[in-house]
Amino acid sequence: MDGWRASLAPRKATLRSISSAALVALFLGPAGIARADAVGDLEKGYSAYAARKYAEAETRLRALLDASSGELNDPDKLADARMYLGAVLVAEGRKDEASGIFETLLKEKPDYDPDRLRIQLEAIDAFIDVKTRLRAELEKIQQEEAQRKQAARAREELERQKTPLRLAMLEKLATEEHVVEHNSRWRALVPFGVGQFQNGQDGWGWIFFSSEALLAVGSVVGAAVSLYESGQENDALTLNQRATATAYRSTANNAAIGGDLLAGGFFLTAIIGAVHAELTFVPEIVHVRKRDLPRLSFSPGGLGLTGRF
């Protein structure tokens, strides 16, 4: 029994190796080998054509050009395969079929130029005939292709020019903070241009502030002069200086009237200022506050950002 098991072990190992190789070939082999074989088959197809084995060459080339297999993906190799197949068909006397192959080749690659050292002269002439017949259409295809490339370059250039603008905009967003200040309608009723300053109307604010301040100071000065002159009048009456007392009374009355007029002007201007501030009320004002640009910093713990947000 032990001998039978010993003889069976190498077989199992061999089976496992074969299975592994089969799996590798199944999953990795087809794609890589197919790509390598496609170029090799193209050369084999040409070799058959050069050796005048036209049936074999046609079979190989049609297999490469089969859309379902998709093994030959390089545009230049595809064009060569069509050129070789067209040359095979010309050599077999099937020029109409060859013309169709050449037409497909030229529409996909209008600037294709066959290798005259590898292709027979008769096939070159047939290719040139098709190219001449399709000249207008091929020129249109080339123009459209040139326009597509030009548009692509223009888009790339536009994107390249947009990059600094995007960076500048990002830097601006990173270095600016928008602070919203909410205004109060009650504050708009305060005199001395407070409502106008709150609304951001500094010009009107200074006009109302200076006007109301002058009127207020004038009314206070008028009241003070009136009180002073009244005191002087009383002193003159005590000294029985009636003429002098009369003069003081007149000055005191005039000062009181002036003070009252100035006080009235102050209240009227304050009311006008409050009405103006309410009519032009701005609910909120946005202020832009500068801040430092965040900087990258390296630390033992990793990459980080520093800055105030």
262's CB contacts (< 8 A; 6+ apart) are 215, 216, 218, 219, 222
Q: At 160, list the tokens.
A: 């390249």
Residues 48, 113 within the same domain: yes
SS3 305: strand
Bin 193: left if φ > 0, else alpha if -120 < ψ < 50, else beta.
Answer: left
SS3 296: strand
Choosing from 142, 171, 195, the residue where a domain stops is 142
Does residue 212 sit within a domain?
A: yes
Is the pLDDT reported for residue 193 higher than 80? yes
Q: What is the average pLDDT score of the chain?
A: 80
Is the pLDDT reported for residue 184 higher than 70? yes
* H-state helical runs in the chain: 2-27, 29-50, 54-64, 75-91, 95-108, 121-133, 135-175, 194-198, 202-238, 242-279
Residues 272, 208 within the same domain: yes
Question: Which of these ranges, 6-15, 37-46, 95-104, 247-256, has the smallest mean pLDDT?
Answer: 6-15
pLDDT per position as a tens digit, 208-246: 899 889 989 988 998 898 888 888 888 888 888 888 888
Does residue 234 sit within a domain?
A: yes
Does residue 161 sit within a domain?
A: no
Mean pLDDT of the region 23-34? 43
Distance CA 282, CA 198 (A): 8
Does residue 96 sit within a domain?
A: yes
**Number of domains, the chain:** 2
Q: At 213, list the tokens.
A: 């301040």
Choosing from 142, 174, 209, the residue where a domain stops is 142
Range of the domain at 220: 187-290
Does residue 167 sit within a domain?
A: no
Choosing from 80, 108, 142, the residue where a domain stops is 142
Residues 40, 132 within the same domain: yes
pLDDT per position as a tens digit, 108-126: 899 899 999 999 999 999 9
Does residue 279 sit within a domain?
A: yes
Does residue 159 sit within a domain?
A: no
Mean pLDDT of the region 64-86? 85
Q: At 120, list the tokens.
A: 């027979």
Going by pLDDT thresholds of 50, 70 and 90, the confidence category of residue 299 is low
Residues 128, 193 within the same domain: no
Residues 228, 136 within the same domain: no
Mean pLDDT of the region 36-53? 89
What percentage of the chain carries pLDDT values higher than 70? 80
Residues 130, 206 within the same domain: no
Does residue 243 sit within a domain?
A: yes
Residues 200, 124 within the same domain: no
pLDDT per position as a tens digit, 147-176: 888 888 888 888 887 788 777 777 776 777
b (16+ CB within 10 A) / e for 17-46 = eeeeeeeeeeeeeeeeeeeeebeebbebbb
Residues 116, 200 within the same domain: no
Asked if 58 contacts 89 with a C-beta cutoff of 8 angstroms, the reply is yes
Going by pLDDT thresholds of 50, 70 and 90, the confidence category of residue 146 is confident
pLDDT at 25: 40
Q: What is the CATH number of the domain that holds 76?
A: 1.25.40.10
Higher pLDDT, 178 or 20: 178
pTM of the predicted model over 0.85: no
Residues 35, 132 within the same domain: yes
SS3 181: strand
Distance CA 236, CA 170 (A): 81
Distance CA 42, CA 63 (A): 10
Going by pLDDT thresholds of 50, 70 and 90, the confidence category of residue 296 is low
pLDDT at 287: 67
